[in-house]
Amino acid sequence: MLAYFIRRIFFAFGTLWVVSVIAFAIIQLPAGDYITSYITGLEALGDLVSEEEAETLREEYGLNRPIYVQYSKWMLQVVRGEFGLSMEYQLPVGDIIGERLLMTIIVALAAVFFVWVMALPIGIYSAVKQYSVGDYTFTFVGFLGLAVPNFLLALVLLYFSFRYFDANVAGLFSPEYFRAPWSIGRIIDLLKHLWIPAIVLGTAGTAALIRIMRANLLDELRKPYVVAARARGMSEWKLVLKYPVRVALNPFASTIGYILPYIVSGSIIVSVVLSLPTVGPLLLRSLLSQDMFLAGTIILLIGAMTVVGTLISDVILVLIDPRIRFSGR
Amino acid sequence: MVDEAEAIEARADAADERVYVASQWQLMWWRFRKHKPAMIAGVVMLGFYVIALLAPFFATTEPTLSEGDRSLMPPQRIHWFDGWKPSPHVFAVSGERDQVTFKRVYEVDRDQKIPVRFLGRGFEYKFLWLIPTDRHLLGAKGAKTEESIFLLGTDLQGRDVYSRLLFATRISMSIGLVGVSLSLVLGILLGGMSGFYGGYVDTVIQRAIEILRSIPTIPLWMGLAAALPQDWSVLRVYFAITLIISVLGWTELARVVRGRFLALREEDFVMAAMLSGASHTRTIFRHMVPSFYSHIIAVSTLAIPEMIISETALSFLGLGLQPPAVSYGVLLQAAQNIQAIALTPWLMIPAFPVIIVVLAFNFLGDGLRDAADPYSQ
């Protein structure tokens, strides 16, 4: 078992390393560098920048060094917990990302919470009352939830809340709390806004989980031990909840792994639509302005969250289900 | 009584007989036919592809024709009856700039009716890229079509949303097909190698797939798409975007193909083919692949909507296709913020075809997957 964990952690680090290389490769891909787009911006304003000045700037940011030197310099910084300087904001990347990363995690966790709270009861209901009107309704809604891309869902939700409730549901804070320091009031305000992104991001995951839960529970309910327990007069609710549900719960653990990255990834586009203060809009902007350390760091951190999520789910899965073998994968 | 029982038996026998001699494709078709949602989805799909093929015929206006004078016009309704007499028409609309807000305000002139004609003349195009013509399904009599009929309103540049939507269907629907074909090539090749040879090759390919899958896709796409040079032609960007989407899309297909290969490798008929001296290539393509064609088709059908969504998402963020190309995502870019949605809700209409297409592909894929294995119960 220990060997399994060690191998998993080792593999996670390997993946992280590949992600860091890919993240760096991506930010190197566009023709030119930040200085090119910076100069284009200045020239659009009427300033002229000479070749020497550009070279000095490149020297200052280390952009004229070979790529592998730039990469190792960046990696050395990352290992020490610094992520370089954002060229556009002239601030350390850590300072810019800080709160936004926290918001990204909060939004993702809220969505996962929503997924679990919705999918568990609905999944059980759909399995126990198979082919009932409720089951069909949930199946259909689930299909719709799976098919509709979440940023379109966000758009539609924005429209309806504006049209029929005259409320702007975008953002995570009301204006008066936007730049305020943390307080009880701000947390409550956050919770008031959080449900919209949670629903938007969680719908697809909920739909998927309901289907898995229903299928697993249906398999379990047909087993002889359930029939035997029923024959002995066990109450129906206790019968369902005590054993079959526990066995069918497996997917809930394994979904932490694949729902968390999915939600973090999805939150990027949804954040742009709902103007959430997460890392999504920042990534989009930094990619467009070739602010390489900012973009690279965000991709790296999202990759890290994905890898950690997968790791956590694998570990939990092993802990709750003794049937899973440790050898081989 | 006896006769009746015999007749029933005979009929049952005949039905059995029909099942026994039916080919695999026939069995699949019979099973698919029973899946009602998939049948409906199939018809919807066909409709979309007909629209994609005949986009200019259904369009009323050239999709790139812009005019500042009719910026952000609300949709016009076709009135089918004039009193009790059927005479389709739209009311003329005149625009004026509000002196206070500087917004264009449009007023419907209920007295001035513009008759709508079917198969009228409009802008010139080539029917199915072959026959030059200027006939369109809808047109206006008297006035120029591009100045009078805007079924779904106009965008900021005064371009007809309805016509643009039809042309966008063309690109969005084809990007799914092209993307899936690319993923298929990669998936069958790498998945097949992985499953057929096993061992060392398998390990390497499987690790690569695992790593690719554990990288968050959307930031990766965004990064790759942002890296495309600005001065590329529309066509090049189109292929680059499909390539980016399929580079990450082939893993699922490869997984399915590998699983099938692993299962089939041990089958007697494969052994027989090998022993009769068939080469690897022949064994794979002549003996193994045909037995899971149907599965590949089903999995590809389920992969298409994901490609369409990916392209829509990228273009929506401004990282995908660039104007003058139009796709659903490019159109939706106009509806990105609350102001646009509140003031000009018709710009959100392109969201609906996306949802319908994705749903239809999913139902169709589900039906195909069930039908793919007609021998199972």
Q: Does the beta carbon of B220 lie under 8 angstroms from any beta carbon of chain A?
A: yes
Contact call for A149 and B313, based on CB within 8 A: yes
Over the stretch B284-335, which tens digit does the pLDDT of each residue have?
888 888 877 777 888 888 888 888 888 888 888 888 888 788 899 889 888 8
Q: Contact at 8 Å (CB) between B161 and B331?
A: yes
Q: Contact at 8 Å (CB) between A191 and A97?
A: no
Backbone φ, ψ for residue A45 (5° rounding): -85, -5
DSSP-assigned letter for residue B229: -
Of the candidates B219, B317, B358, the beta carbon closest to that of A147 is on B358
Nearest CA-CA partner of A316 in A259, A271, A273, A268: A259
Residues of B in contact with A302 (CB under 8 A): 216, 219
Q: Which residue of B has its CA nearest to A15?
A: B211
Residues of B in contact with A268 (CB under 8 A): 218-219, 222
Q: Which residue of B has its CA nearest to A295?
A: B223
Backbone φ, ψ for residue B132 (5° rounding): -70, 135
Residues of B in contact with A260 (CB under 8 A): none
Residues of A in contact with B214 (CB under 8 A): 15, 19, 261, 303, 306-307, 310
Contact call for A148 and B219, based on CB within 8 A: no
Residues of B in contact with A307 (CB under 8 A): 214
Determine the residue among B222, B224, B315 to mutate to test chain A binding: the one whose Cβ has the most chain A Cβ atoms within 10 Å: B222
Q: Which residue of A has its CA nearest to B317?
A: A269
- Calpha distance A286→B222 (Å, rounded): 11
Backbone φ, ψ for residue B108 (5° rounding): -90, 130
The rounded Cα B102 to chain-centroid distance in angstroms is 39
Residues of B in contact with A265 (CB under 8 A): 216-219
Residues of B in contact with A303 (CB under 8 A): 214-216, 219
**Residues 106-165 of chain A whose Cβ lies under 8 A from any Cβ of chain B:** 143-144, 146-149, 151-152, 155-156, 158-159, 162-163
What pLDDT does B40 receive?
Answer: 92
ipTM for the complex? 0.76
Which tops the pLDDT comparison, B15 or A22?
Answer: A22
Q: Which of A36-45, A261-270, B73-82 holds the top average pLDDT?
A: B73-82
Asked if the bond preceding A181 is cis, omega within 30° of 0, the reply is: no
What pLDDT does A328 receive?
Answer: 43
Q: Contact at 8 Å (CB) between A283 and B222?
A: yes
Neighbours of A96 (CB within 10 A): 22
Contact call for A30 and B227, based on CB within 8 A: yes
User: Cα distance from B223 to chain A (closest Cα, Å)?
Assistant: 6
Regions of chain B where pLDDT drops below 70: 1-2, 12, 141-147, 214, 374-377
Give the CA dihedral A278, A284, A286, A287, nearest 10 degrees: 150
Cα within 13 Å of Cα(B353), Cβ side = 27
Burial call A207-231: b when 16+ CB within 10 Å, e when fewer? bbbbbbbbebbeebbeeeebeebee
Contact call for B224 and A15, based on CB within 8 A: no
Q: Six-digit token pair at A229?
A: 């327990």
Contact call for B219 and A302, based on CB within 8 A: yes
Q: Contact at 8 Å (CB) between B120 and B138?
A: yes
Q: DSSP string spanning A37-66?
A: HHHHHHHHTT----HHHHHHHHHHHTTTS-
Over the stretch B121-170, which tens digit does the pLDDT of each residue have?
777 888 878 888 888 887 776 666 666 778 888 888 888 888 899 999 99
Task: Note the pTM of the prediction, 2 decimals.
Answer: 0.81
User: Cα distance from A180 to chain B (closest Cα, Å)?
Assistant: 24
- Calpha distance B274→B265 (Å, rounded): 11
Contact call for B354 and A310, based on CB within 8 A: no
User: Cα distance from B230 to chain A (closest Cα, Å)?
Assistant: 9
Neighbours of B109 (CB within 10 A): 11
Q: Which of A118-122, A162-166, B154-158, B254-258 holds the top average pLDDT?
A: A118-122
Contact call for A19 and B332, based on CB within 8 A: no
- Calpha distance B317→B332 (Å, rounded): 9
Secondary-structure percent of chain B, ordered helix, strand, coil, rounded to 5: 65, 15, 25
Nearest CA-CA partner of A266 in A297, A305, A212: A305
A-B CB pairs within 8 A amount to: 115
- Calpha distance B112→B147 (Å, rounded): 14
Q: Contact at 8 Å (CB) between B96 and B105?
A: yes
User: Is the per-residue pLDDT at A320 higher than 70?
Assistant: no
Q: Contact at 8 Å (CB) between A270 and A202?
A: no
> What is the average pLDDT value for chain A, to the nearest integer?
79
Of the candidates A273, A288, A298, the beta carbon closest to that of B336 is on A273
Of the candidates A29, A152, A288, the beta carbon closest to that of B355 is on A152
Q: Does the beta carbon of B211 lie under 8 angstroms from any beta carbon of chain A?
A: yes
User: Is the per-residue pLDDT at A167 higher than 90?
Assistant: no
Residues of A in contact with B44 (CB under 8 A): none
User: Cα distance from B126 to chain A (closest Cα, Å)?
Assistant: 34
Q: Does the beta carbon of A185 lie under 8 angstroms from any beta carbon of chain B?
A: no
Q: Does the beta carbon of B232 lie under 8 angstroms from any beta carbon of chain A?
A: no
Q: Does the beta carbon of B93 lie under 8 angstroms from any beta carbon of chain A?
A: no
Nearest CA-CA partner of B89 in B160, B138, B147, B123: B138
Contact call for B348 and A15, based on CB within 8 A: no
Q: What is the mean pLDDT of residues A7-13?
A: 82
Residues of B in contact with A152 (CB under 8 A): 332, 351, 354-355
Determine the residue among A151, A274, A294 to mutate to test chain B binding: the one whose Cβ has the most chain B Cβ atoms within 10 Å: A151
Which tops the pLDDT comparison, A215 or A175?
Answer: A215
What pLDDT does B49 receive?
Answer: 93
Q: Which residues are bridge partners to B105 per DSSP?
A: B96
Contact call for A19 and B319, based on CB within 8 A: no
Q: How confident is the model at residue A329 (pLDDT cuts 50, 70, 90)?
A: very low
Contact call for B359 and A27, based on CB within 8 A: no
User: Cα distance from B319 to chain A (closest Cα, Å)?
Assistant: 9
Of the candidates A144, A163, A306, the beta carbon closest to that of B216 is on A306
What pLDDT does B48 receive?
Answer: 93
What pLDDT does B143 receive?
Answer: 62
Q: Contact at 8 Å (CB) between B283 and B195?
A: no
Of the candidates A15, A162, A287, the beta carbon closest to that of B222 is on A287
Of the candidates B214, B223, B351, the beta carbon closest to that of A287 is on B223
User: Cα distance from B63 to chain A (closest Cα, Å)?
Assistant: 23
What pLDDT does A279 receive?
Answer: 84
